Chains A and B, each alone.
Chain A
Amino acid sequence: MNRLPSFLLCSAALFLATSPATAQQELNALVWCDHTDPALIEPFEAAHNVKVNLREYEGTGAALALLEQSRPGDWDVLVIDGIDVFRAVEGGILAPLPEDALPIADFFPEVVMAENNTVDGVTYAVTEKFGYNTISYNADKVDPADMQDLATVWSETYQGRISIYDYYLPLIGLAAISAGIPTAEIGADDLDAIGEVLSTMRGRAASVAGVVAAQTALATGEVDIVVGGGEWLTAVLAEDQPELTWTIPDQGAVRWAQSIGIVQGTSQPDLALEFIKYITSPEGQARLATSSCFWGMPANAKAGEILTDAQKAVLRWDEQPGYLARTQLYPAPDTDLDIEMQDLWLNTLQQ
C-alpha cells in the first residue's frame, strides 16, 4: 500500500522537474544562414525566455513549398529575399506587419523598399539586411583599376582566373548593367543581349560557384576574381587575407536585400513581432550584419552606433551613400520571365 503514494510522489517530482523546460515558449523561424549565429539569437532567447528554432533554406521556391505544406502555427517568422515578398503575399503566407512598431524611420531610405514590402497599402515585411552582388577580387593578383570597368573584369586578361557566383538573378542583373539595361526594365526582348554578355563571362570563367566554393576558390588562389561577389563573400576572410576585397565598378552593380515578416496563422504573433523588433533594433542589426555565416549592411542606420570602427571599415560604412546611388536592385521577374531567365542561365552553364 505504501508503494502507490511513493510512485505518485516520484511522478509528481519528475513532472515538476521537467515542466519548466516544456513550458518554455518556442519560436519557429525559417531563415537564411546568417540568422543561425548564436551571437545573434542567444540575447533574444535570454531576454524572452524563449527557444528559437531556426531552419535554413535555400531558394524561395523551396521555402514557400515548405510553408504551404505546413499547418497554420508551425512557423512564426520568415526571412525572405526582398524581391520575393510579393510571392509570399500572393500565397497568403505573410501576415500584415504593424510598421509603426518597427524602427523603419531609422532605416537607410533606399532600402526601406516599400514597393517590395508593401502590397495594396499593407506592409507585410521589412528589410533587415542588404549588400551587393558585384566584383570581389584579390588585390595582389589583379589590377584594381581593371575592376572598375565590367568589360575589363571579364576581358581576356583574366581568362581562367574568374569564378562566377552561381545564382542567375544577380548575374543576369550584372550582365544587364554591363549592356546598359536597367535591371528594373529587363524584358524578354533583352535576353539575347544579356545572353551574349553571360556567354563572354562564362567563357572566361574557371568555375561557377556557390558561396562556400567561391570563398574557397578566392582564398586558395584558384581564382582571382569572383563576379557576383561582394562584402558578403570577402568580409569573413578579411581578417586573415586583407588582400581579398571588393569594389563596385563605374557602371554600377546589383543590390540584394533580405526582408523579414510574420507567417500568417502563427499562434504567437506578439512573440514573432518581438523577434522582428529585436532583429531590426540597432543591437540586433549589428549582430546580424556581422553574422559568422556572412556579413552584410544592416538596414537600420543606427546599427552604426554599435558596430566597431573596424567592422564598419570592412562593411565600407562611409561609402554607402555612393554605393546606394550607383547600384540597382536585382531583377524581380514575373513567373514567365523568371522561367526564361533560368533557361538562359542553364543554357549558358551548359555551353
Chain B
Amino acid sequence: MTQTARGWGFVAPALLWTFAFFILPLIVMGAMSLATLDGRTLVWGLSLANYAELAEKAYLWRAILVSLEITLTVTIVSVLLAYPLAWIIAFRVPKRWQRLTLLLAILPFWTSYVVRSYAWLLVLAREGVVNQTLLNLGLIAEPLTLANTRFATITGFVHFFVMLLTLTIYANLIQLSPNYRRAAMDLGASAFQTFRHVILPLTLPGIVTGAFLTFVLCIGDYVTPQILGGNTELTVPQVIMVQLGRRADFPLASALAIVLMGIVTLAYLACARWLRLDRI
C-alpha cells in the first residue's frame, strides 16, 4: 500500500462522516429551499419564491435584525466580561489553584441548558431575587420588568458564553511567554501600553475564536430566546420553528436556515484572518 493510499485510508472515515452528516444534509436543505408547497404537497423545483418571501414579509426581516442585534450584543458583552476573568485566572491565581478556578468557572455547564434558562426566568421575575433585593434596598419602588425581555435573553446567553470565552481566552493567555511582558516593560512601556501593543494583539486569535463560536451558537439558538425572551420579539430560529410546527413549511424554513448559514459564513469571512481553532 502506498503512502498516499494509506493517508486516504486514514481520512476516509472522517470524510465519509462529513459528507453523510454535513455536506449531504446541506445539499438537501439547499434543494428544499428552492421547492414550494402546493397546499400540503411538496413541489420540487428551482423556485426562488421562498427567498422572495423574505423580502416581502416584514416580520422575517425583523427576525433577522433581532437575531443580529442580540448576537452582536451578547458577543461583545461576553468578551468584555470573559477577558478580565481569563486574565485573572491566568496571571493572578496561583498555578496550583488555576485548575480548580477553571472548574468553578465552568460549573454552570454541568446543569441542563433548559433548566438554567428557566432558573433565570425565576431569578428575573417580578417577585424574583433581583427585584426583591432591589426593593429591600430601597433602590426601586416598583418591581422592574426584567423577565420576558431582550435583557433576559441577553443575560441568559451571556451567563453561558462568558464561560466558553473564558476557556478560549485563558488557553491563549497561558501560551504567552512572560518574556514578552518583561521585554515591553524593560523598553519603558507602561502596563496599559504593554497590554494594548503586546498582549492584546497576541491574544486576538483566542478572542476572535471564542467570539466566533459565541456568534455561531448564539444566532442559531432557539431555547434561550424562547424561554427568556417571552416571544416579545422573534429571532430567526423561532420563526423557523413556527413554520414547521403547524404548516410543516419545510421549504420556507430551509430558506431561512440558508440565510442563517449565509450570515454565519459572512461572520467567518470577517474574522477568518484571526481565527485560530488550534487555540481552543
Contact = CB atoms under 8 A, between A and B. Distances in A.
A103 interface: no
A259 to B, nearest CB: 16
B122 interface: yes
B249 interface: yes
A350 B62 CA distance: 7
A208 B234 CA distance: 11
A221 B128 CA distance: 10
Contacts of B249: 61
B60 to A, nearest CB: 8
Nearest to A346: B59
A37 interface: no
B50 to A, nearest CB: 13
B126 A166 contact: no
A182 to B, nearest CB: 22
Nearest to A348: B59
Interface stretch (B191-199, B208-216, B239-247): B239-247
A64 B40 contact: yes
Interface residues of B, number: 34
B153 to A, nearest CB: 12
A207 B40 contact: no
Contacts of B248: 59, 61-62, 64-65
Given A90-B40, A222-B125, A342 B232 contact: no
Contact of A220 (B39, B59, B125, B226): B125
B245 A62 contact: yes
Given A61-B248, A338-B247, A349-B59, A206 B230 contact: yes
Q: Is the interface of A mostly helix, strand, loop or mixed?
A: helix
A16 B24 CA distance: 44
Nearest to B126: A222
Given A61-B248, A209-B230, A343 B57 contact: yes
A59 B246 contact: yes
Q: Is the interface of B mostly helix, strand, loop or mixed?
A: loop
A87 interface: yes
B155 interface: no
Given A221-B125, A221-B126, A349-B234, A62 B145 contact: no
A207 B244 contact: no
Given A65-B248, A207-B231, A213-B227, A350 B59 contact: yes
A342 B246 contact: yes
A349 B57 CA distance: 13
B75 to A, nearest CB: 23
Contact of A216 (B39, B118, B239, B250): B118
Contacts of A346: 57, 59, 234, 239, 242
- Among B39, B230, B234, B246, which residue has the most Cβ atoms of chain A within 10 A? B246
B167 interface: no
B117 to A, nearest CB: 10
B126 A350 contact: no
Nearest to B58: A347
B184 interface: no
Contacts of A304: none
B39 A209 contact: no
Interface in A96-148: none
A208 B122 contact: no
Contacts of B245: 58-59, 61-62
Contacts of A58: 245
A206 B148 contact: yes
A174 to B, nearest CB: 17
Nearest to B66: A350
A220 B120 CA distance: 13
B259 interface: no
A160 interface: yes
Contacts of A163: 230
A333 to B, nearest CB: 10
B230 A208 contact: yes
A65 B250 contact: yes
B233 interface: yes
A339 interface: yes
Contacts of B57: 343, 346-347
Given A222-B147, A335-B40, A61 B230 contact: no
Given A350-B66, A350-B234, 12 more contacts: A59-B246, A62-B244, A62-B248, A65-B244, A206-B145, A207-B148, A208-B230, A209-B230, A346-B59, A349-B59, A350-B58, A350-B63
23 contacts: A58-B245, A59-B246, A61-B245, A61-B247, A61-B248, A62-B248, A64-B40, A90-B40, A163-B230, A206-B145, A206-B148, A207-B231, A207-B232, A209-B148, A216-B118, A220-B127, A222-B125, A335-B247, A346-B59, A346-B242, A349-B232, A350-B59, A350-B233
Interface of B: 39-40, 57-59, 62-63, 66, 118, 121-122, 125-128, 145, 147-148, 226-227, 230-234, 239, 242, 244-250
